[in-house]
Structure 1
């Protein structure tokens, strides 16, 4: 459990640092659209760090189920937000890694859907 909390806190602190970096250092370097994209990556990262804290402390699902949700969100953050950071902060062209961002989005969506299914099973709702 503590390993997941450490990873989650790492995602949280890096989101805050990158958000501050974007707000101050990058506003003179990036175009408005590039900065908006960067801020989207930061926002998605912090949202999912908060959700990961919930998952880590929620007693209603098993450790194995938590690991599945964690893995999906970890991959989602790394691929979605990470690819946007790389595109905006390096000379790598979006065309060369275009597929990574939506793949990350799919991992994030899969994490949310997994939680929906787990919660539905807990309350025995028939779909």
Structure 2
């Protein structure tokens, strides 16, 4: 799971950077509601980066299926891209000027990937022989 660990490390660093940007630079650029939307994206990114890091750690233990943990991690990565990514773009639409209204329906798809990742954990424990 080296590739996944590297990806999660990058997503974690991005979450810290985006959180700092939201807390210290974004408040004068967007309305409070947009700032709240941005913050929601950061929070959910952090939650799922931490969950993925835990899944990677569990993958080192023989009692867990690396295959199912890897599937959960990739669901969470897709969830971060779709859910958090769409919220970032929607929150910043007044700043970047792009027409991103079409992303509204993408956000719930990201949420479904988050849920799917958590459901993958149901299959991760392996029966001991």
Farther off after superposition, 34-43 or 66-75: 66-75
- Correspondence for 1:91 among 97, 108, 112: 97
Does residue 1:100 correspond to 2:100, yes or no? Answer: no
Aligned to 1:50: 50
Aligned 8 A contact 2:69 2:120 in 1: no
Aligned 8 A contact 1:87 1:93 in 2: no
Aligned 8 A contact 2:22 2:39 in 1: yes
Farther off after superposition, 6-15 or 53-62: 53-62
The count of aligned residue pairs is: 122
TM-score (structure 2 length as normaliser): 0.86
Consecutive unaligned residues of structure 1, counting only runs of 5 or more, are none
TM-score (structure 1 length as normaliser): 0.87
Stretches of 4+ moved more than 6 A in 1?
none
| Matches of 1:4 and 1:22, distance apart in 2 | 26
Aligned to 1:35: 35
Alignment of 1:1-127 (within 5 A): 1-58=1-58, 59=61, 60-89=63-92, 90-115=96-121, 117-118=122-123, 122=126
